[in-house]
Copies of this chain bind each other. A is one copy, B any other.
Amino acid sequence: MAIATRSVTEACESAKAAAHALATADTGTKNRALGRLAELLEARVDEVLDANAADLADERAAGLSEALRDRLALDSKRVREMAAGVRAIAELPDPIGEELERRTLESGLDLRKVRVPLGVIAVIYEARPNVTVDCAALCLKSGNAIVLRGSSYAERSNAALAALVREAVVETGLPEGSVELLSGDRSELEQLATADGLVELVIPRGGEGLKQALKSVATVPVLYAAGGNCHVYVHSDADLEMARRIAYNAKVDRPGVCNAAETLLVNADVANEFLPGVLADLAAAGVELVGDERVRGAAGAVAMGEASDADWDTEYHGLKMAVGVLDSLPEAIEHVNRHTTGHTEAIVTGSEDVAAEFTEAVDAAVVFVNASTRFTDGFVFGMGAEIGNSTQKLHARGPIGLRELTTTKYIVHGDGQVRG
């Protein structure tokens, strides 16, 4: 069941042929394949860990930062978590065949709009082997074939995991080509992104470099996720204790991820009352703080740097936060809309009207009222899992789950209708 080296076109053609069978596979068959995959992950954990150990021992891996090595490293607990994730995806409702609209047209035609799979989805990702399994499972459940293009750092781990997925798929009677794995040189990215007629969608899971590389060449649709320059705005009527907890959590809980907050905005009416406490909390957690003049005036004993223009547009990916004071709700909305990446924004307010004005006017995929930005996540949102996150407005906005991996088809039944 080893995966031979093959060209991008061969892999995509194999996936496309498989996609036809997957599109009409029933829910039970797809779920059996997922169940078998979970079993294989548990039964063959040693194979996976051996491959992973070889990736980690490779001289190339020596150059990775500790954070990247941690993402690459697997242990039996992580493999069991993958299996649990696959079982959770099996439990989710099948989006395929869902009837979105139905009506009888004037001519008597019976029109239905139903969900169907996209076809072949390509996922390009960094050295995180669990992505191999998560994305393959989401695509299988949504009736799509997947072409995985992993990092060469994780080559052996990905191959071991993809081999288990293919084994589970074939044992269930689905085509092996449902899951294809590539890990060649960088030219593969361009080939995938221009495979019109074979690949329906490219999902990049990686940094700005990957996105820019795709933007300049892609002719196949790509779902991009901008980073998250997320704001927490504390209005004058906020419960300030609640605001303090939310601002702290949004920044400190997991500062490296895209739903962490980068900027704290505070209404001038409560700045003097609110800021000293929250800034002290943040500083105590090791957060480097920069602010405008008014913030620094209200900061009390907390040490603060001066915010530059660039700070308001920076996703720090770490323990740093920009803090600003604004005179009104419209000013806060304007600041957020000027600097947002469209990922996640939050307001803390005691007023439903203020909340409504903010949520209507702020142009982002997710807007929270009185909650931390950290909740933006497909699993938390009840979508079971996510294959990525979209900050685009077209097709999918926010976490990309099973439904977002589908398209629709109008199926219209008549009894001989002609037009005109």
A residues adjacent to B (C-beta < 8 A): 20, 23-24, 103, 105-107, 109, 111, 118-119, 200-201, 215, 219, 221, 239, 242, 245-246, 248-250, 253-254, 355, 359-361, 363-372, 374-376, 380-382, 392-395, 397-398, 407-420
Tell whether, in the assembled complex, residue B419 and residue A200 are in contact, meaning their CB atoms are under 8 Å apart.
Answer: no
Closest B residue to A418 by CB, please name it. B249
Q: Which 4 pairs of residues, A with B, have the shortest CB-CB distance?
A: A371-B414, A249-B418, A374-B419, A393-B407
Closest B residue to A368 by CB, please name it. B412
A398 partner, pick from B242, B249, B366, B410, beta carbons under 8 A: B410
A300 and B221 CA atoms in complex are apart in Å by 48
Tell whether, in the assembled complex, residue B24 and residue A372 are in contact, meaning their CB atoms are under 8 Å apart.
Answer: no
Residues of B within 8 A of A375 (CB): 105, 107, 109, 412, 414, 417, 419
Q: How far, in Å, is A145 (CB) from chain B's closest CB? A: 13
Residues of B within 8 A of A367 (CB): 409-412
Q: A370-B415, A394-B395, A407-B394 are in contact. Are A360 and B249 (CB under 8 A)?
A: no
Q: How far, in Å, is A211 (CB) from chain B's closest CB? A: 12
Main secondary structure of the interface of A (DSSP, over half): mixed
Closest B residue to A110 by CB, please name it. B369
Q: A382-B103, A417-B371 are in contact. Are A366 and B410 (CB under 8 A)?
A: yes
Tell whether, in the assembled complex, residue B417 and residue A380 are in contact, meaning their CB atoms are under 8 Å apart.
Answer: no
A248 and B261 CA atoms in complex are apart in Å by 62
Closest B residue to A97 by CB, please name it. B360
Residues of B within 8 A of A105 (CB): 375, 380-382
19 more contacts with CB within 8 A, not counting A253-B419, A364-B409, are A20-B361, A24-B360, A105-B380, A106-B380, A107-B380, A200-B393, A239-B416, A249-B419, A253-B420, A366-B410, A367-B409, A369-B413, A369-B414, A371-B412, A371-B418, A375-B414, A394-B395, A397-B407, A397-B408
